[in-house]
Amino acid sequence: MSKNILILPGDGIGPEIVAEAVKVLDVVNQRFDLGLNMEHALVGGAAYDEFGTPLPDVTMDKARAADAILLGAVGGPKWDNLEDRELRPEKGLLGLRSGLELFGNLRPAILYPQLADASSLKPEVVSGLDILIVRELTGGIYFGKPRGIRTLENGEREGYNTYVYNESEIRRIAKVAFESAQKRGKKLCSVDKANVLEVTVLWREVMNEVAKDYPDVELSHMYVDNAAMQLVRAPKQFDVMVTGNMFGDILSDAAAMLTGSIGMLPSASLDKNNKGMYEPCHGSAPDIAGQGIANPLATILSAAMMLRYSLNQAEAADAIELAVSKVLDQGLRTGDIFSAGMTKVSTKEMGEAVVAALQEV
Ligand code: NAI
Ligand code: MG
């Protein structure tokens, strides 16, 4: 059965890194007979330059029709001063996430043993790190209404946002988290601020209710300030963490850096049917765009996640992850993960090395 994959390179380093991931997908497509049809479309700054909008209807239509989406990155100084903020490249990404209801954001933070010296923490604290952060992506304070900046009667200005989650939003992200934990170490830590915020009192209650359907998963709760501390103190105590949109945004960036480079981190954003959009955690890196030096591994690993989560092709996903590990064994490093004694390679050389390693796994 054939599957339609929409490729959205975006702008900045997006097209450079996505090109390498597509080469890798081409190889596994043949090798494992996956029947993937890949089609490209524009999003972000590239779409704005062509159509005057970061998310043209034609792209959204293709995204709705696709079985899965692989995205590079969007955004950059070229578009930062657009008069209409709604036309910024980043709005294209938010439009895709909310339009497709991609509420379940999975961000694995895995430290490859070959990169142990790239982590900001001591080896004994991080070696073997393999945690998964499940972040709610389409609700919470980033989307709650009302919001804005108003002027009070006394003339003072006031900014406000609304932190709101309803039961069904919490329940559906809880299910994603429990199911993820079931497939891994069977430990789930739900992160909230239930000592202060009512919305997270409900969050905690619903997590406890959903837990009854997953008796094999051990659920614990932690306040977000403590979770931030524990992540840098003893990150290996965690298996899967689940949290709301804003806490997840912050904690997942902190977790990401434990692994050395943002250039290594993939992500998945899933809807209720596990249809998903897959993208590296990093942005469009305008400072290095066009130089051919960006690390394509986060995007290649995102393609592996796509095969695993949306296309049920675990064997092909395993092969890609193993190939990535092999190129790291060979000492090949892009600039962001380079250290003395290693071989510095370009974006393209790294992609081609993964392709070569794939022939052998
Ligand atoms: P960034 O992630 O683009 O870059 C941060 C730093 O990491 C830069 O020094 C960059 O060179 C480096 N870096 C990032 N990815 C890399 C890779 N694959 N290989 C080697 N080095 C890499 O974050 P920044 O600078 O805050 O944002 C730049 C633009 O990207 C902004 O317009 C921002 O809005 C956008 N952005 C887009 C995201 C997305 O498309 N999902 C996510 C985050 C930011
Ligand atoms: Mg963020």
Q: What is the mean pLDDT of residues 318-343?
A: 96
pLDDT grade for 17, boundaries at 50, 70 and 90 = very high
244 within domain boundaries = no
229 within domain boundaries = no
The response to whether 253 counts as a known ligand-binding position is yes
The response to whether 319 counts as a known ligand-binding position is no
28, 63, 113: which is closest to 304 by C-alpha? 28
Pairing of strands 130-136, 104-110: antiparallel
Counting the structural domains of the chain, the total is 1
Q: What is the mean pLDDT of residues 312-316?
A: 96
pLDDT (tens digit per residue) in 223-269: 999 999 999 999 999 999 999 999 999 999 888 888 888 899 999 99
pLDDT (tens digit per residue) in 258-279: 888 889 999 999 999 989 999 9
252 within domain boundaries = no
Please say if the pLDDT value at position 197 is more than 90. yes
349 within domain boundaries = yes
- Catalytic one of 160, 225, 272, 344: 225
176 within domain boundaries = no
359 within domain boundaries = yes
At 93 the pLDDT is 94
234 within domain boundaries = no
pLDDT grade for 158, boundaries at 50, 70 and 90 = very high
12, 40, 21, 92: which is closest to 279 by C-alpha? 21
Q: Is 146 exposed, middle or buried (0-12, 13-18, 19+ CB in 10 A)?
A: exposed
Quote the ligand 2 centre to 89 CA distance (angstroms).
Answer: 15
Q: Which residues does a 6 A CB cutoff place in the pocket of ligand 1?
A: 13, 17, 73-76, 90, 93, 262-263, 279, 282-288, 294-295, 298, 334, 336
Which ligand is closest in space to the CA of residue 265?
1
Residue to probe by mutation, ligand 1, list 279, 282, 287, 346, most atoms within 8 Å of CB: 282
Q: What range defines the domain where residue 296 resides? A: 1-106+270-361
CATH number for the domain that contains residue 56? 3.40.718.10
CA distance 169 to 138: 9
Whether the ipTM is more than 0.90: the answer is yes
At 261 the pLDDT is 85
Average pLDDT value for the chain? 96
Q: What is the mean pLDDT of residues 301-307?
A: 98
- Catalytic one of 253, 271, 318, 348: 253
Q: What pTM was estimated for this model as a whole? A: 0.92
The response to whether 107 counts as a known ligand-binding position is yes
